[in-house]
Amino acid sequence: MDLQLSGRVAIVTGASKGIGLAVTRTLLAEGARVVAVSRKSAPELEALAGDLVHVPADLMDPEAPGQIVGRAVAEFGGLDILVNNAGGPPPGVALPRFGFLTPTDEDWRTMFEFNLFSVVRAVRAAVPAMLARGGGSIVNVSSGSARMPAPMNVDYNAAKAGLNTLTKALSEEFAPQGIRVNTVSPGPVRTAWWTESGGAADIIAAQAGTDRDTVITQVAPEMMKLSTGRLVEPQEVADVVALLSSPRSASTTGADLAVDGGFLKQV
């Protein structure tokens, strides 16, 4: 299926690994021109072919989103797609954290800064550029945990719930002006968050008295009641992001699409 993305200009945050890298690769393969945003580049990102510009940026910096959008306009003449993928544990933070009393006020501030306020600023910067092109698509990467809160990662879950609410409000305001806004809510995805040393798999392994590989292949899918019995692959999320970015999804706005292996059970 032709997603009609050829020549369209996209910004993808958190683009150097995991879901962001998969989204960047997919959009390039569909003919889009991509501004890939991350703190630093990676060999996998540099190896991608196509109209790709890497912008090193720290999204905790309030000035960064405006600079990124300015770079997209300068390099490619405008902006059609914004994928707010950067999120998860802020720099220097390891998740999961257990219990409401564990995160401090500073933990809460940092979590909201990275997972919600950075998106607010990115959208604020992107909307005028999209309106100048007659519309566009914004895809916010949220989490199934926003709709299934638990006494683990409480601050993260609350920030992502806020992101879902923000998305609904944005979709209502800007759909008449041609800008669609949707969320994609992954479940646990096989990314560095889980697999790297000191990541979620290691933390859960220490709690469960097992090893990292067993957590990834067995403990986590069972603990999170994944119907598929496995973690989600980044490409599976990227495919849905690409579809929502496409004009083929012209009547989809304000939606929250779960790509979670059956994690979310509610109707």
Checking if the pLDDT of 144 tops 90, the result is: yes
Q: Work out the pLDDT band at 199, boundaries 50, 70, 90.
A: confident
Q: Work out the pLDDT band at 267, boundaries 50, 70, 90.
A: confident
Assigned token pair, 20: 């962001």
Q: Which of 156, 174, 193, 263 is catalytic?
A: 156
Distance (Å, rounded) from C-alpha 145 to C-alpha 140?
Answer: 14
249, part of any domain:
yes
Residue with tokens 């220097």: 92
pLDDT, average across residues 48-67: 95
Q: Which domain holds residue 212?
A: 190-231
Same domain, 222 and 238: no
Q: 81 — phi, psi (to 5°)?
A: -135, 135
Number of domains within the chain: 2
Distance (Å, rounded) from C-alpha 213 to C-alpha 215?
Answer: 5
For the chain, percent of residues with pLDDT exceeding 70 = 100
264, part of any domain:
no
Checking if the pLDDT of 45 tops 90, the result is: yes
Identify the pLDDT of residue 58: 96
265, part of any domain:
no
173, part of any domain:
yes
Same domain, 194 and 88: no
61 in active site: no
Identify the pLDDT of residue 43: 94
Identify the pLDDT of residue 129: 98
Identify the pLDDT of residue 65: 97
Assigned token pair, 232: 């989600």
pLDDT, average across residues 239-258: 98
pLDDT, average across residues 232-248: 98
74, part of any domain:
yes
Same domain, 31 and 123: yes
User: Residue 40: which CATH number?
Assistant: 3.40.50.720
Strands 52-56 and 81-84: unpaired
68, part of any domain:
yes
Same domain, 23 and 138: yes
* pLDDT tens, residue by residue, 54-63: 999 999 999 9
Q: Work out the pLDDT band at 217, boundaries 50, 70, 90.
A: very high
Identify the pLDDT of residue 36: 98
pLDDT, average across residues 231-247: 98
Same domain, 245 and 224: no
Same domain, 57 and 180: yes
Rg (CA), the chain: 18
Residue with tokens 């510009």: 53
Distance (Å, rounded) from C-alpha 117 to C-alpha 102?
Answer: 22
Same domain, 197 and 120: no
Checking if the pLDDT of 207 tops 90, the result is: no
Q: Work out the pLDDT band at 194, boundaries 50, 70, 90.
A: confident
pLDDT, average across residues 210-228: 93
Identify the pLDDT of residue 196: 85
20-29, 134-143, 185-194: the lowest-pLDDT one: 185-194
Distance (Å, rounded) from C-alpha 182 to C-alpha 231?
Answer: 23
Identify the pLDDT of residue 92: 87
3, part of any domain:
no
* pLDDT tens, residue by residue, 2-18: 999 999 999 999 999 99
Same domain, 77 and 179: yes
94, part of any domain:
yes
Distance (Å, rounded) from C-alpha 237 to C-alpha 188?
Answer: 11
Residue with tokens 């945050």: 13
Same domain, 168 and 89: yes
109-118, 120-129, 214-223, 227-236: the lowest-pLDDT one: 214-223
Same domain, 118 and 200: no
pLDDT, average across residues 189-217: 90
Q: What is the DSSP string of the chain?
A: -----TT-EEEEESTTSHHHHHHHHHHHHTT-EEEEEESS--HHHHT--SSEEEEE--TTSTTHHHHHHHHHHHHHSS--EEEE---SSPTT--S--BSTTSS-HHHHHHHHIIIIIHHHHHHHHHHHHHHHTT-EEEEEE--GGGTS--SBSHHHHHHHHHHHHHHHHHHHHHGGGTEEEEEEEE-SBSSHHHHSTTSHHHHHHHHHTS-HHHIIIIIHHHHTT-TTSSPBPHHHHHHHHHHHHSGGGTT--S-EEEESTT-----
Same domain, 14 and 118: yes
> Across-strand partners of 83?
12, 139
Same domain, 117 and 178: yes
